[in-house]
Structure 1
C-alpha cells in the first residue's frame, strides 16, 4: 500500500485526533493511529475504547488497505518536517511503514489494522442538527464546572436535555451549577436526556470550528455520535441519573447586584492573594450601591479589602464565597456587566450575564461558604 499526502494536512488532522490517545492503554494497539484507505480516501481513527474520533482526507493512493501507525513517533516526525508532500509505503506482510520526504527516509514498525478495535456503530438512535457555534458555546459555559470526583459519576459529564425545540446543558460539581439554554434548536421528536462525558466534550472543544458549520448529534441509550465537516466522534454516554438540579435553584432572590464584570474579577484576584490558601474565602459586604470585598489569612496575618461601585438593591448582606469559583464563573462569560441575585447568606447565589441573545439563557449558581467569626 502506498499513498502521498501534504505533511501539513496530515499533521493538522493527527493533532486534532491525538487528544483521545492515552498513555498505557488497556489495549496496546490504541497507542496507534489507524490508517485506512478506500477509493482514494484516507480515514484516520484514534480511540481509547470509550471515545473514538475519526477524520477523513483525500490522498493520492494506489490501492486500498490499512495499517496502525505509532501515534507519538508519527506526530513528532511530522512536527519537525517542513511543509512538503510525504510518501507512505506500507509492507502488507510485515506492516512496516516507510515515510519518504524530500530529503529523508524514515521507517517505523506498524501493526495489523484488523487488530484495532472496531468503532461502534450507532443503531436505532435519534438525531438533531446543531451548529458548531452553539455546541462550542455550550461547552465553554459548562465544561469548567464538571465534577472530577469519580465517586460521583453522574456529575462527570454535561447533562443535555433536548425537547420542544429547546436544548438545555447543565453541569455541576456540587459547589457550582451551570445551566445554559438555547431555544434555536430544531425539534428532535421525542424528548431526550443524556450525559456526555467530560473528555469527549473537551475533545470536541479542541476540534470544532468556531463558525456555523452544521453538526449532527445522534444518540441512543449508550452512545452519542457527533459528525461535522470531515470529522466524526462517537463516545459512550454516562449511564447514571443526573441530580435533580432544578430543586437547588433558590427562589425569591430579592437582593440584586449589578456590577462591571472585569472590575469584579480584578478585585477578586487581588483579594485571593490575601485569602487563606486552603479555603480561598472572600467576604462580600453589600449595602446600597456599594460592594466591599475583603479577605484574611489569620495564620499569616494577611488581610485586604476594597470597595467597588455597583448597583445594589435589597437588604444589607454579608456573604462568603470561594474566590476561585467566582473568578472562574465570571471569566467564562463575555458580557460587560453581570447580575447577582441573593436571598440569604446561607443560600446559593445566582449569576446571569446582563447581555445575552434572545435565543439563549445562562445561569450560574454558586454555593456560599460559612463566614469566619473573626471579621
Structure 2
C-alpha cells in the first residue's frame, strides 16, 4: 500500500486477505449468557488495576471472574495487594452454571475500551480455554489463562478487629501530600495511629527530606504503627466512590482490609494491602 501526502510518500507492506487468520475459536455447545455493560464495566474498573504486571507469574497476570445464577465475583492480585468485587447481577439470555474465567490483562484493557460508557448488554460466550465478548457490532475473542488461580478467600483476614474510619477525600489528599517525600524504591508511607487521629509520614534520607500530615479519624483501639506502599494505598483509595473509608487492621506486620463506607447496594467491595516493614521494626 502506498500513501502520498504533499511531498511525502509512504509504503506499507501487508499480507493477502486470504492469509489473514480467520479460525473461529468458539464451538457449538459453548456456554452463552448476557449481563449489562454497566455491571461488566464496573467489575473491570474496580479490580483490574491490581492485576500483576509480572508475566512470569502467569496465574496472577489476569482477572478472575466467577459467575453464578445471580451474582459475579471479580478478583485481581499481584501478590502485594488484592481487590475483590462481589456484585449482584442479572443474568440474561442464558445460564452461567457457575462459570469461572481467568481473563488476560491485555484482554481486560481491550474489553474496557470496547465497553466504553454505554448502556445495553454484553453477550459472553465461554468455551474451552476461550471467551468471546460481543457488544453491539463489536466482538472480542480471546484465549483464557489456564493456570490455576490462588485461593483468594484464604488470604482475606478474618480477625482484623482494629477499625479506623476516615473521610476518604481528606485522607487521600493527606496521604498524597505525605507520599511526596517517600523513598523512591520502597514508597513507604507510615501511619502512626492514636485515638481519633493518625499521623501520615514519609522520609527520603538520600535527599534529606521528610513529610508529616495529621488527619482526624474515628479510632478507639490501642495505638499502633503500620507502613504501606504509598503508590498502592493511593490507588486503592482512588478507586473508592464512598464518602468514608474503613481500615480493618490487626498489627504492624499483618495485612489490612480496606473498604468503602458505606458499601454500594448489592455489592461487597474490598482490598487487601500487605504492610511494609518499618525501619524501627528492622532494628
Secondary structure of the 1:285 match is strand
Aligned position for 1:118: 22
Please tell me whether residue 251 in structure 1 is matched to residue 164 in structure 2. Answer: no
Of stretches 127-136 and 230-239 in structure 1, the one that deviates more from structure 2 is 127-136
Large movers: runs of 4+ above 6 Å: 106-109
Aligned position for 2:64: 159
Please tell me whether residue 145 in structure 1 is matched to residue 50 in structure 2. Answer: yes
- Pairing of 1:254-273 with structure 2 (within 5 A): 254-273=161-180
Secondary structure of the 1:311 match is coil
8 Å Cα contact 1:127-1:218 kept in structure 2: yes
8 Å Cα contact 2:179-2:201 kept in structure 1: no
Which of residues 111, 120, 128 is equivalent to 1:213?
Answer: 120
Aligned position for 1:306: 213
Distance 1:211 1:297, change over 3 A: same
8 Å Cα contact 2:39-2:89 kept in structure 1: no
Secondary structure of the 2:280 match is coil
8 Å Cα contact 2:176-2:234 kept in structure 1: yes
Distance 1:315 1:128, change over 3 A: farther
Please tell me whether residue 294 in structure 1 is matched to residue 198 in structure 2. Answer: no
TM-superposed CA distance for 1:298, in Å, is 2.2
Please tell me whether residue 182 in structure 1 is matched to residue 87 in structure 2. Answer: yes
Aligned position for 2:253: 346
Aligned position for 1:171: 76
User: Any unmatched runs of 5+ in structure 1?
Assistant: 1-68, 78-105
TM-superposed CA distance for 1:190, in Å, is 2.1
Q: Which has the higher contact order (CA 8 A, sep 6+)?
A: 2
Please tell me whether residue 372 in structure 1 is matched to residue 279 in structure 2. Answer: yes
Aligned position for 1:200: 107
Aligned position for 2:223: 316
Distance 1:112 1:289, change over 3 A: same
For this pair of structures, how many residues does the alignment match? 275
- Pairing of 1:5-20 with structure 2 (within 5 A): none
Q: In 2, distance between residues paired with 1:182 and 1:336?
A: 20
8 Å Cα contact 1:167-1:185 kept in structure 2: no
Secondary structure of the 2:171 match is helix
Q: In 2, distance between residues paired with 1:328 and 1:299?
A: 25
Secondary structure of the 1:226 match is strand
8 Å Cα contact 1:274-1:304 kept in structure 2: yes
1:168-211 per-position Cα deviation (integer Å, ceiling 9, x unaligned): 00000001001111112327342121100111110111121323
Aligned position for 2:131: 224
8 Å Cα contact 2:166-2:244 kept in structure 1: yes
Structure showing greater Rg: 1
Q: In 2, distance between residues paired with 1:107 and 1:322?
A: 48
- Pairing of 1:279-290 with structure 2 (within 5 A): 279-290=186-197
Q: In 2, distance between residues paired with 1:157 and 1:373?
A: 36
* TM-score of the two chains, using structure 2 as the length reference: 0.91
User: Any unmatched runs of 5+ in structure 2?
Assistant: none
Q: In 1, distance between residues paired with 2:136 and 2:69?
A: 26
Q: In 2, distance between residues paired with 1:125 and 1:310?
A: 51
Distance 1:320 1:108, change over 3 A: closer
Backbone CA RMSD of aligned residues: 2.2
Q: In 2, distance between residues paired with 1:215 and 1:119?
A: 22
8 Å Cα contact 1:319-1:371 kept in structure 2: yes
- Pairing of 1:79-98 with structure 2 (within 5 A): none
Aligned position for 1:84: none
* TM-score of the two chains, using structure 1 as the length reference: 0.69
8 Å Cα contact 2:182-2:189 kept in structure 1: yes
Aligned position for 1:89: none
8 Å Cα contact 1:320-1:371 kept in structure 2: yes
